[in-house]
């Protein structure tokens, strides 16, 4: 729909700059006008504040924050490339507020309460079970959350829909509370984050800069246990830019450090703590870990915190002032913290011949001597460049600033003397309230300790966003939402280096296991709705990969002038070439032109942070550990990733002992036991002797079940599977279908030899005329995944396998075909024809199974044959490496809704029915772990449609593969299913072509119908589907085999 909002007329750059500055200043002045003040008029404070037993801080409401200002300009106006200034977009958040993890929230009707969201319904990553383990105090239940919902949350860790878990910063509690009781105050967004305006908006953007203003309160007066409305305007300092502040701690966990030629990340810090007691004496306590905090939510002590301890911890301490007095209570106020050692996880070392000869990494624990060494530096990501570059060609200001301040932080002013002058109480905000006053506490009055420490009560953040269409805007962070498709491998953004999925032809370097992309280019812009990218290709790149690693020497070379629109599904970004804003990288030797580096440069010029992606293939790196700090531009292939925030999640998976309760388990089968009284084939053990079995042999001792982890439901009754969607309607009449040739022991047709199948059943499945289950006397195919596994040898296993075969013979649903071998009855290969009205319709899926000697004590092993050529999975539960993710197979945790493998109850048929009915579904997006609860959510439909459309065209390639490759032992079955044109034959190849053409025709129509990914797809997906249709039509045109 066209946007008809009025647009501002173009103005000279100077006028536009002044107008933006005036607009922002006016916005900031109004931003904190009401929430931090009492309801009565206020007068500027002109005297130094004294410590109070209670604290009053009122917090900014969403309404007071966002409603005063509305811009006349259309926030969607798109400047042309080269426009230097980003647009301001400061509208209110969406009417339907979405709460996210790390959001700052306030309590409606209570201006004194502010907290941070720890868990929400929509964030699957926050759903680890038993949340109480993460908190020292008991999680509380809001009155409007039912006891049943609360109990379920305390087990599963998933907040009920419409609730969030909040850690209140102004109270000593963590609470599960309805979203309706909260208002969104601020949203934590960081450089490199991918955001959208709404879930339904196809276009996303990258946060390229953040700015924040804060409300501060003197830390020595902050007492969250006793907050009430009294004199807040005398002590709060409002609208303080974050760049004026620094964290009170010099060393913080997660910070990057450079030591010599090594880069590392601080994992742990240890502080010595000085405490002032009631008699004005000061002691550095013997063991800071024995200090008890008044605020249980404190993770690290700071100046101003109240503590208590045992007298022995004081007596054995180092006394700075006074001496130990047993009559003085062992409690006081922290006046100083000093880091004495840090634990560092070393990440990588400098690249190139200029590095030191010593390759051994530094010690993991560094003490004061090492931290004071001249070669040791802390990387300050919030530091601006002393020497910056001009605006980028696409209008991005590379001199952006990064706000690294969060609610609850303890901070100092970088220049406390300047702050006392600037915030002198004389400034009055437009509504008549004071901005606040900084009263500097001189050290002569505080025993020489710097007590000018402030508590961050609230932040309000603006972010600069570069959108996929190359426009740049400034937005309030609560008006944006994190993009749920951020992990989509098919998404790209401007400035990224991409490669075609097609391999280069012709001679290349003769290096085993390497690959060369046909083309390498730079994304100029993305047409999100159409799933197309505008790309400039490099002329003659010499890029070669070993797996995902780039092999030197690799060069991108010069860019062509022309651009080309390509499908997002035809290209890929590569970890070794594609850098993201916020990545920390090693700059290769001789990558920076010498004239760029100042003569007085000190510190490492080989390590920095990516702050911009140029459209010419060069990236901008800020050398933040160098002095002076400067920005440099280097080709993307001339840097190596040292650290990314994505690395924080590696190795952090929950342990399997998280399970707490046994899952509810029911048998999946509804079979009549009387039908199994007689064996239809004689099974022999490995010694050739017949196996005798009784019904009690069917049951074995049940294993311990586990639950507690979220998984997709994968256990259903066989009669619950909707076979109407699994059987193509064109071949439901078995009487009209001629019987196809049966597979034989040597691959010949039944007319040549009839002993290929051992004791076949008398009746075939009527939907196709094919035998659902056969035991072949041919050897298993060499490409069976488990061909090298030891055969099952125990009598109990063989008896159980025999019974499994009996069930498969009589109870297989339509379009599932199972083959096993007389010589290896522990091996099976299964062919499943994808159900209609799903992205898998008419496509063949082949799965190998292995029943080990421990079967059925352990679930069968399964391997899915993926034929996507590494271009991406077709289902969240079917991995490209062959793994099938199901709790019934033991490859995913079971929970109270889903059954794990249970000896004596679970069967191979259950597994097959689960795959057919619960994996190969219409909306596979929701098969992703934890996503099923969002199935009815409108905001997830666009993401689901994108997943469905790529699953659809990728599985068309499965048909091509199956009909052009030898997929033993299903060659005859595949020919009959797809290529036989006799009356009554399934003719699945024709159906697949017709269905695909119908999708293309509907997708070409210019209407406003919502794309579902199955009946209507994007332009980028049609490019891929047309390609597959051409291949299918080529197959159809080929002569039929006689």
Smallest CA-to-CA distance from 314 within 275, 270, 271 is with: 275
What tokens does 872 get?
Answer: 């991406």
CA 471 to chain centre: 25
Angle separating helix axes 988-1004 and 941-964, nearest 10 degrees: 140
Q: Is residue 656 part of a domain?
A: no
pLDDT value for 769: 67
pLDDT value for 263: 96
Same-domain pairing of 707 and 813: yes
Mean pLDDT of the chain: 79
Same-domain pairing of 46 and 159: yes
- Work out the pLDDT band at 303, boundaries 50, 70, 90: very high
Same-domain pairing of 685 and 821: yes
- Work out the pLDDT band at 726, boundaries 50, 70, 90: very low
Q: Which of 373-387, 702-716, 898-912, 968-982 has the highest mean pLDDT?
A: 968-982
Q: Is residue 72 part of a domain?
A: yes
Distance (Å, rounded) from C-alpha 805 to C-alpha 784?
A: 19
The dihedral over CA atoms of 574, 575, 581, 583, expressed in degrees to the nearest 10, equals: -170
Look at the block and give the residue holding tokens 């926030």.
75
Look at the block and give the residue holding tokens 């984050």.
193
Per the DSSP assignment, residues forming a β-bridge with 549 are 546
Task: For 693-746, give the DSSP string.
Answer: --GGGG--PPPPP---S--------GGGS-GGGTS-GGG--GGGSPPPPPP-TT
* 586 Cβ neighbours under 8 A, 6+ residues apart: 263, 348, 350, 351, 606, 607, 639, 640, 641, 642
Lowest mean pLDDT among 407-416, 462-471, 761-770: 761-770
Same-domain pairing of 289 and 223: no
- Work out the pLDDT band at 533, boundaries 50, 70, 90: very high
Per the DSSP assignment, residues forming a β-bridge with 472 are 466
Distance (Å, rounded) from C-alpha 458 to C-alpha 997?
A: 56
Q: Is residue 405 part of a domain?
A: no
Choosing from 881, 914, 942, the residue where a domain stops is: 942
Same-domain pairing of 353 and 431: no
Q: What is the pLDDT of residues 887-943, one digit of tens each?
A: 899 888 766 555 789 988 999 999 999 999 999 999 999 988 778 777 877 778 888
Is the torsion defined by CA of 315, 321, 322, 325 positive or negative?
Answer: negative
Q: Is residue 434 part of a domain?
A: yes
Same-domain pairing of 317 and 433: no
Q: Is residue 24 part of a domain?
A: yes
Strand order from edge to edge, sheet including 630-635: 630-635, 618-623, 607-613, 584-587, 639-643
- Work out the pLDDT band at 428, boundaries 50, 70, 90: confident
Same-domain pairing of 302 and 163: no
Residue 55, pLDDT > 60, answer no
Same-domain pairing of 759 and 864: yes
Average pLDDT, stretch 870-886?
93
pLDDT value for 898: 58
Distance (Å, rounded) from C-alpha 396 to C-alpha 226?
A: 46
pLDDT value for 108: 92
Lowest mean pLDDT among 693-697, 781-785, 797-801: 693-697
Q: Is residue 400 part of a domain?
A: no
Same-domain pairing of 212 and 318: no
Q: What is the pLDDT of residues 192-225, one digit of tens each?
A: 999 999 988 999 999 999 999 999 989 888 765 5
724 or 175: whose pLDDT is higher?
175
941 or 57: whose pLDDT is higher?
941
Task: Quote the number of domains for the chain.
Answer: 4
pLDDT value for 735: 38
Q: What is the pLDDT of residues 335-385, one digit of tens each?
A: 999 999 999 999 999 987 655 555 689 999 999 999 999 999 999 887 777
- Work out the pLDDT band at 171, boundaries 50, 70, 90: confident
Q: Which of 51-55, 88-92, 700-704 has the highest mean pLDDT?
A: 88-92
Residue 831, pLDDT > 80, answer yes
Same-domain pairing of 238 and 269: no
* 912 Cβ neighbours under 8 A, 6+ residues apart: 808, 812, 813, 816, 818, 830, 832
* 12 Cβ neighbours under 8 A, 6+ residues apart: none
573 or 62: whose pLDDT is higher?
573
CB 76 within 8 A of CB 198: no
Per the DSSP assignment, residues forming a β-bridge with 523 are 535
Burial class (CB in 10 A: 0-12, 13-18, 19+), 663: buried
| Phi, psi angle pair for 49, to nearest 5° | -75, 150
Choosing from 327, 356, 378, the residue where a domain stops is: 378
Distance (Å, rounded) from C-alpha 545 to C-alpha 576?
A: 9
Q: What is the pLDDT of residues 746-774, one digit of tens each?
A: 333 333 333 333 333 333 334 556 899 99
Choosing from 356, 378, 400, the residue where a domain stops is: 378
Q: Is residue 837 part of a domain?
A: yes
CATH code of the domain containing 819:
3.10.110.10
Catalytic residues: 885
Q: Is residue 131 part of a domain?
A: yes
Same-domain pairing of 299 and 417: no
Same-domain pairing of 270 and 175: no
**677 lies in which domain range?**
661-942
Q: What is the pLDDT of residues 614-629, one digit of tens each?
A: 999 899 999 999 988 8
């Amino acid at each position: 729909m066209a946007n008809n909002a009025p647009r501002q007329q173009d103005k000279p750059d100077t006028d536009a700059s002044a107008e933006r500055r005036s607009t922002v200043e006016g916005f900031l002045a109004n931003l904190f006008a009401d929430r931090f003040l009492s309801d009565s008029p206020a007068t500027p404070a002109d005297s130094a504040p004294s410590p109070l037993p209670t604290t009053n801080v009122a917090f900014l409401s969403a309404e007071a924050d966002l409603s005063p200002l509305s811009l006349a300009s259309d926030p969607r106006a798109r400047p042309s490339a080269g426009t230097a200034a980003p647009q301001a977009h400061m509208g209110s958040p969406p009417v339907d507020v979405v709460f996210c993890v790390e959001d700052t929230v306030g309590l409606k009707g209570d201006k004194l309460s502010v907290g941070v969201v720890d868990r929400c319904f929509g964030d699957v990553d926050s759903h680890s079970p038993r949340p109480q383990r993460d908190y020292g105090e008991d999680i509380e239940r809001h009155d409007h959350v039912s006891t049943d919902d609360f109990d379920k949350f305390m087990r599963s860790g998933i907040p009920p829909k419409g609730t969030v878990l909040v850690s209140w910063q102004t109270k000593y509690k963590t609470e599960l509370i309805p979203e309706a009781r909260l208002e969104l105050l601020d949203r934590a967004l960081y450089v490199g984050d991918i955001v959208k305006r709404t879930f339904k908006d196809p276009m996303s953007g990258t946060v390229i800069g953040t700015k924040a203003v804060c409300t501060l309160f003197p830390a020595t007066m902050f007492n969250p246990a006793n907050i009430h409305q009294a004199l807040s305007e005398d002590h709060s300092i409002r609208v303080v830019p974050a760049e004026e502040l620094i964290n009170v701690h010099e060393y913080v966990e997660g910070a990057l450090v450079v030591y010599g030629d090594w880069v590392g990340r601080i994992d742990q810090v240890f502080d010595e703590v000085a405490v002032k007691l009631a008699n004005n004496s000061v002691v550095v306590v013997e063991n800071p870990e024995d200090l008890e905090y008044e605020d249980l939510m404190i993770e690290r002590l700071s100046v101003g915190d109240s503590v208590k301890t045992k007298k022995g911890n004081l007596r054995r301490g180092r006394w700075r002032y006074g001496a130990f007095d047993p009559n003085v209570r062992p409690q006081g106020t922290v006046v100083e913290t000093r880091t004495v050692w840090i634990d560092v996880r070393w990440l990588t070392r400098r690249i190139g011949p200029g590095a030191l000869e010593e390759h051994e990494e530094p010690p993991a624990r560094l003490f004061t001597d090492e931290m004071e060494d001249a070669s040791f530096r802390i990387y300050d990501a919030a530091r601006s460049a002393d020497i910056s570059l001009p605006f980028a060609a696409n209008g991005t200001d590379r001199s952006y600033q990064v706000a690294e301040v969060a609610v609850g932080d303890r901070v100092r002013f970088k220049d406390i003397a300047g702050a006392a002058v600037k915030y002198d109480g004389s400034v009055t905000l437009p509504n008549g309230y004071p901005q606040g006053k900084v009263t500097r506490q001189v050290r002569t009055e505080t025993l020489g300790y710097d007590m000018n420490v402030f508590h961050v009560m609230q932040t309000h953040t603006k972010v600069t966003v570069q959108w996929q269409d190359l426009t740049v805007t400034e937005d309030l962070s609560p008006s944006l939402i994190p993009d749920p498709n951020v992990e989509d491998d098919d998404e790209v953004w401007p400035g990224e280096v991409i490669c075609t999925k097609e391999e280069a032809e012709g001679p290349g370097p003769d290096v085993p296991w390497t690959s060369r992309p046909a083309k390498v280019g730079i994304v100029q812009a993305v047409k999100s709705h159409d799933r197309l990218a505008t790309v400039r290709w490099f002329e003659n790149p010499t890029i070669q990969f070993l797996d995902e690693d780039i092999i030197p020497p690799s060069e991108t070379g010069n860019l062509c002038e022309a651009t080309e629109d390509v499908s997002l599904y035809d290209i890929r970004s590569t970890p070794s070439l594609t850098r993201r804003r916020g990545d920390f990288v090693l700059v290769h030797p001789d990558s920076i032109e010498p004239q760029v580096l100042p003569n007085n440069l000190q510190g490492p010029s080989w390590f920095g942070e990516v702050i911009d992606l140029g459209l010419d293939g060069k990236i901008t790196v800020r050398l933040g550990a160098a002095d002076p700090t400067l920005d440099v531009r280097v080709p993307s292939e001339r840097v190596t990733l040292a650290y990314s925030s994505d690395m924080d999640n590696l190795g952090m998976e929950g342990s399997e002992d998280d399970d707490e309760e046994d899952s509810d388990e029911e048998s999946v089968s509804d079979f009549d036991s009387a039908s199994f009284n007689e064996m239809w084939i004689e099974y022999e053990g490995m010694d050739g002797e017949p196996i005798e079995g009784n019904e009690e042999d069917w049951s074995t001792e049940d294993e311990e079940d586990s639950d507690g982890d979220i998984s997709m439901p994968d256990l259903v009754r066989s009669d619950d599977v909707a076979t109407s969607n699994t059987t193509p309607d064109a071949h439901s009449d078995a009487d009209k279908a001629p019987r196809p040739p049966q597979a034989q022991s040597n691959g010949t047709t039944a007319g040549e030899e009839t002993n290929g199948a051992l004791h076949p059943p008398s009746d075939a499945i009527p939907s196709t005329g094919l035998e659902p289950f056969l035991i072949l006397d041919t050897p298993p195919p060499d490409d069976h995944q488990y061909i090298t596994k030891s055969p099952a040898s125990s009598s109990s296993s063989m008896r159980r396998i025999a019974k499994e075969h009996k069930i498969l013979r009589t109870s297989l649903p339509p379009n599932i075909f199972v083959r096993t071998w007389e010589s290896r009855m522990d091996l099976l290969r299964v062919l499943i024809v994808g159900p209609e009205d799903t992205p898998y319709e008419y496509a063949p899926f082949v799965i190998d199974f292995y029943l080990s000697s421990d079967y059925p004590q352990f679930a069968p092993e399964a391997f899915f044959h993926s034929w996507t050529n590494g271009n991406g999975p077709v289902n969240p539960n079917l991995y490209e490496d062959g793994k099938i993710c199901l709790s019934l197979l033991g490859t995913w945790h079971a929970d109270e809704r889903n059954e794990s493998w249970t000896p004596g109850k679970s069967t191979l048929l259950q597994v097959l029915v689960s795959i057919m009915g619960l994996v190969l579904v219409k909306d596979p997006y929701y098969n992703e772990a934890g996503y099923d609860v969002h199935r009815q959510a409108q905001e997830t439909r666009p993401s689901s449609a994108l997943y469905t459309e790529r699953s659809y065209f990728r599985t068309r390639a499965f048909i091509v593969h199956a009909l052009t490759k030898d997929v033993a032992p299903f060659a005859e079955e595949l020919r009959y299913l797809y290529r036989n044109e006799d009356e009554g034959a399934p003719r699945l190849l024709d159906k697949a072509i017709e269905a695909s053409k119908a999708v293309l025709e509907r997708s070409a129509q210019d209407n406003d119908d919502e794309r579902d990914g199955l009946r209507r797809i994007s332009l980028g997906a049609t490019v891929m589907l047309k390609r597959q249709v051409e291949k299918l039509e080529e197959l159809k045109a080929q002569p039929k085999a006689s």
